[in-house]
A and B are shown apart, each in its own frame.
Chain A
Amino acid sequence: MPSPSRTRVGTVGRLGPLVLLAGAVLGADLATVWLLVAATVVWVAWVDRAALRGLRSRWFLLFAAFLVIPLSLWGGPRTWQWGRLALAPAGLELGLIMLGRTIVLWLGVTTIVAGLSLQQWSALFERLGLQGFGFTLGVAFHFLPSVLASATDAWHALRMRGGWRAYRWEAPQRFLTTVVSGALRHVDEIAAAAQARGYDPAKPHRAPERVTAADWSVVVLWAVVCLLLRLTPGAASLLRGPLGG
């Protein structure tokens, strides 16, 4: 159940800060990257707590291990001795920076993609001047399984007729021709069906996404936070340890 404060902020207010955070993390140093990671995690926990589950997934933990461990072992001169383990500080720093950036970008993209419905994506692109793009996207999503099935059938048919050996350079052309011809058969049916339902690309049925003062306030607030984190040397020094210096 969303809290009253959450309902006052719309899509722009909820997801806009993630775009700012993703932009701010590019080119940042280690301490700033991890401050931005903390800020992103806090914001995503507020916007869509479920998106944080990905950080605990086996896939992500494996990715993080494969990114940081090899770099910390072989990413530069191993000047850190820790018992019998010798580490490369330069490699470890690079690995941690890359991991931090990946977390911010990945969390941002997955939350934005999951947080916008197909209709909201359509409204966004239509607002940017792509008239009828919502309709296009809807047709593409519904058409995808049929295209995959048709391409698989065409591929098997070509393979059984001898495939590459039989047709050489003509094989890709034959494959594409079959798939494209099959897809084009549906163009008129889909257009006629949409017309019969009274769809007019020039007059979309949806109400435009409302952007309130609260949305802009949140976005401006996060823009200031991101700027402060990037521009103020003191902010990053909070986390600055032996690696961040």
Chain B
Amino acid sequence: MTNLRHLVLIAIFGALWGALELSLGSALHALDVPFSGLFLAGVGIAVALVGYRFTRRRGSVVQIGLVAALLKAASIGGNVLMPMIGILAEALIVETALALTRGRARGSYVVAGACGTLWPLVHPFVTQGLVAGRGILTVWGWLLEDGMALLGLPAEAALVIVGVLVAFHMAVGAVAGLIAWQTAERVVRRGGIQHAQP
């Protein structure tokens, strides 16, 4: 039985993620800040994970992501398709990770966050490589070039570069998951208890 409170919680956390994408996301992309996609993914996933703490139902994170993606779709501006794909993919990954790890402990949040923030690394392969048609190999070349410039390593160390980038993305996601868990627990302790699911 769908209850109203659950629907309102989904709406509120979806609006929070959407608000972050609309305000912070637009600003970061306009300023072309490095790793802005990763930072946005981390913050968005943290919001969705806090929302999950108060709903604890299968599909909640996907619904929160869907609301955020549709809010992004309705925003004024140029390209909304690629961010929408990103938000939905991140929500889907986090939902899967929560389902696999039961989603009831700190470790589960950390794993879900770490998996979700891997998407910004994969995102250009899908959006630029497949959708825009630049080709997977071209995007792979960009990834290596960026990695080489960042880490000061030669092209021969491709595996090390990718490994470091994956580890960095996962670490940011793990921190986001941890912050989400601690925030949710803090809110529950300080009066949000009536909204929390056992």
CB of A177 within 8 Å of the partner chain = yes
CB-CB contacts of A183-198 with B at 8 A, as 1s and 0s? Answer: 1101110110011000
Cβ contact within 8 Å between B12 and A186: yes
| Cα-based distance from A199 to B7 in the complex (angstroms) | 12
CB-CB contacts of A115-138 with B at 8 A, as 1s and 0s? Answer: 000000100010000111101111
| Cα-based distance from A98 to B66 in the complex (angstroms) | 27
CB-CB contacts of B130-145 with A at 8 A, as 1s and 0s? Answer: 1111100000000000
CB of A139 within 8 Å of the partner chain = yes
The contact of A141 among B9, B71, B79, B195, by CB within 8 Å, is: B71
Nearest to A176 among chain B residues (CB) is B183
CB-CB contacts of B39-79 with A at 8 A, as 1s and 0s? Answer: 00000001100100010000000010011001101100011
CB of A27 within 8 Å of the partner chain = yes
Residues on the A chain within 8 Å of B23, using CB: 148, 151
| Cα-based distance from A105 to B26 in the complex (angstroms) | 21
| Cα-based distance from A125 to B65 in the complex (angstroms) | 14
Residues on the A chain within 8 Å of B67, using CB: 136-137, 140
Chain B nearest CB from A110 CB (Å) reads: 8
CB of A167 within 8 Å of the partner chain = no
Nearest to A195 among chain B residues (CB) is B4
| Cα-based distance from A186 to B5 in the complex (angstroms) | 10
Cβ contact within 8 Å between B4 and A173: no
CB-CB contacts of B182-196 with A at 8 A, as 1s and 0s? Answer: 111011001110110
Interface residues of A (CB under 8 A from B): 26-27, 59, 63, 94, 97-98, 101-102, 105-106, 109, 113, 121, 125, 130-133, 135-141, 143-144, 147-148, 151, 172-173, 176-177, 179-181, 183-184, 186-188, 190-191, 194-195, 199, 201-202
